Structure 1
Amino acid sequence: MKRGLKWLGILLVLLILGIGLLFKDDLLTLATVKKINDKPFYKMNYQGDYALDELLQKGVRSDQELAKFAAKKLLKGMPVQVNVPNLGCTTFNAQTPSGDHLFARNYDLDNGPAMIVKTKPAHGYQSISMVDPSLVGVEADNINRPMSKALELVAPYIPLDGMNEAGLSVGVLRLADQPTKQDTGKKGVTTTIALRMLLDKAKNVDEAVRLLKQYDMNSSARSAFHFQIADRSGKSIVVEYVDNQMKILPMDKKYQVLTNFYLSPEKYNQGSGQDRYAIADHAIAEKQGVMSMSEAMQTLQAAQSNKKYPDGRPLVTQWSSVYNQKTLQMDVAVDRNYGKIYHFNVK
């Protein structure tokens, strides 16, 4: 009996060690999750490989395909749903008085959690990004449940704005239009995977464009989206998909502003956010495209959203983020509390 108990003990130890090795990176990642404030606002340093190269090699053409891949590769088979909401946002770029370049973004939606996610892929650029965990079902009232904790491991797949160590910054914004469904025989990417790909693999705007051209865009949330992409040199573009055709819109002045309407001539002004665009454009123009990080945050504050959806749900600015593309500093205000700015860095 003693010998049997001894072997049982050894088997249990081996089992525990095996489970520990299998989930090592997951446990290390979840151990880095820290609460910053009661929004709730969290931060995470992702540990290990989130299999982006494998995902891009396979390709995904819908949020459902992305969820299936995430369940297999990141959650050890636990099911997940990816639902990109009908968000309304503002982005712009500018230059500081010292010659650095900035990228700024308001994320507008109904109330929910927010998370800063740092990633350091083995074969890509280190980056920092803003994530809305509700895209994978993690809401403010369930964020501490064990199931929600596990779902946080999908965070690298759902960035909404961010900057990498090369200074490339990108934000994605919704357009109220038919979803983009390119089908040219290339591998597919979804909205947030395209953003993750750019953060991991592009050092400047030109590389970002070359990467996007290699994939068929299949947008999320049964809607259309466009991207603003800016780099450390001050170059900025807007990428839109008009009738499934990729359009690249360069700056026509010292800066570029984007909200939720088309800039492409074929559909110009279709959409919403003209009021927020005018507020941001006027503020930046007054400064001739030159402003400090705090002035960029003040511009985001002026262009914040405090409205409601037709069904009564709030449509308010959840976070405002300003990225310095030279120093790699990121300033964030959450829940429109512009008296409390949080400071982070890509490194």
Structure 2
Amino acid sequence: MLRQIIGLASILWLLVRCSAPAVAPTPVPATATLTPPPASILTTAPTTEKNRADGLSDEEAATLSSLEQVDDYPLYTMHYYGAYHQRTSSAEGVKGLVSANRPNSNRVAVPPPWACSLFAALGDADNMLYGRNFDWEYSPAVLLFTDPPDGYASVSMVDITYLGFGGTKAGTLTDLPLVERRALLDTPSMPFDGMNEHGLVVGMAAVPGSKMPYDRHKETIDSLMVIRKMLDQARDVDQALAILQSYNIRWGGGPPLHYLIADSSGHSALAEFYEGEMAVIPNETPWHLATNHLRVIADETGHSGCQRYDRIYRRLTGTEGQLTTQEAIDLLAKVSQHGGTQWSIVYGMSSDDVNVTMGRQYDNLHAFQLSLAGE
């Protein structure tokens, strides 16, 4: 979604081509495998001094040593030890990572399916859920657990292709010496979606280009880094929106985005940027959703022109925003894209549960719990 591998013409073509999945899988009732989160936090914090022969600090070594492979796609888990603010403060950070790992990013002749789907099901106060499909080309991932000393604990999905671990390298990370995993120390700066300890969830989807607001008095940060800021610093939707409004957002060469934000109190909002302004669309029902069109200029009849959007809309309307985790997974399966959906994830805002499957393998569901990361 964020990769610089298509030109503006291709982006606009894909947005117009918001269609139903080429092949919709038949939802399979999945028995989730409860996978332990990364190694628990040490009782004595690792040091930040770099006295090791490989030049890593004890915190960095502990972070990289916590890497575990839980799915052959692959999907990894990792716990980040210590602070990472210096790695997430540069406006050039993600742009540099993308440029380094996608040098021929504008030369792809035939773009892959590109159509993310996000929804918040908020009708059951005891089981509020946030579902998200990330649709793009092959995207191995890390489910990253962070607990910074100056922020909230969170869990987030990171596409590690940006970090130089694509192709055949993706499945061999645990075989590498720690120093050759060093690029994974940049994972906090690149959350594609995530949930923090207060049940705040943030996800994004690409939309057509529009003029971004700019204020020379505000700091400029990358479109993924601002998700990190929200996860680390916001307890609810209002605080997340305040953070989003406090920065100039730089797309880093990728497509423009909008952000669907939801919290465990049942509030949600879709933040979009249009004609130099940030528009906020709060939920007026016990659910909210987004695909790849700007809602701020959507057809007032409620018809989006996107079959994925309309299918989610009908389902959430029919259930008044109430879904079980399995029903949320089934809904993501129905709007998934053959050859395009890289991961489907459901965040339990009321429970701290995380259920994720890779590559449309809906009978192979991995279950985690955010609260366990801090025990």
In the superposition, the TM-score normalised over structure 1's length comes to 0.80
Alignment of 1:1-347 (within 5 A): 17-19=51-53, 22-51=56-85, 55-56=88-89, 60=91, 63-64=94-95, 67=97, 81=101, 87-95=114-122, 97=124, 99-143=126-170, 144=172, 146=176, 149-178=181-210, 180=212, 182-265=214-297, 274-306=306-338, 314=339, 316-347=340-371
Moved more, 145-154 or 288-297: 145-154
Unmatched tracts of structure 2, length 5 or more: 1-48
Query: Taking every aligned residue pair, what percent have the same amino acid on both sides?
Result: 27
Q: Secondary structure at the match of 2:131?
A: strand
Q: Secondary structure at the match of 1:229?
A: strand
> 1:160–1:171: 8 Å Cα contact kept in structure 2?
yes
Post-superposition offset of 1:180: 3.7
Post-superposition offset of 1:254: 2.0
Q: Secondary structure at the match of 2:168?
A: coil
Q: Which is richer in strand?
A: 1
Distance in 2, matches of 1:94 and 1:17, equals 49
> 1:261–1:268: 8 Å Cα contact kept in structure 2?
no
Matched to 1:109, the amino acid is: W
> 1:157–1:196: 8 Å Cα contact kept in structure 2?
yes
Instruction: Map Cα deviations across residues 54-95 of structure 1 (whole Å, 9 max, x no partner).
Output: 854xx516743x649xxxxxxxxxx95589999531110113
Q: Secondary structure at the match of 2:287?
A: coil
> 2:213–2:278: 8 Å Cα contact kept in structure 1?
no
> 2:202–2:261: 8 Å Cα contact kept in structure 1?
yes
In structure 2, the partner of 1:7 is none
Instruction: Map Cα deviations across residues 204-263 of structure 1 (whole Å, 9 max, x no partner).
Output: 001011111111111233421000000010100000111231111111322111001000
Distance in 2, matches of 1:334 and 1:18, equals 36
Matched to 1:238, the amino acid is: L
In the superposition, the TM-score normalised over structure 2's length comes to 0.75
Q: Secondary structure at the match of 2:295?
A: coil
Matched to 1:90, the amino acid is: S
Instruction: Map Cα deviations across residues 154-179 of structure 1 (whole Å, 9 max, x no partner).
Output: 11111111100010001011113257
Structure 1 pair 55/38, CA: closer, same or farther in 2 (3 Å)? closer
Distance in 1, matches of 2:345 and 2:332, equals 8
Structure 1 pair 18/99, CA: closer, same or farther in 2 (3 Å)? closer
Tell which has more relative contact order, 1 or 2 (C-alpha 8 A, sep 6+).
Answer: 2
Structure 1 pair 135/148, CA: closer, same or farther in 2 (3 Å)? farther
Matched to 1:336, the amino acid is: R
Matched to 1:149, the amino acid is: R
Structure 1 pair 138/50, CA: closer, same or farther in 2 (3 Å)? same
Q: Secondary structure at the match of 1:173?
A: strand
Structure 1 pair 139/241, CA: closer, same or farther in 2 (3 Å)? same
Unmatched tracts of structure 1, length 5 or more: 1-14, 69-78, 307-313
Post-superposition offset of 1:320: 0.7
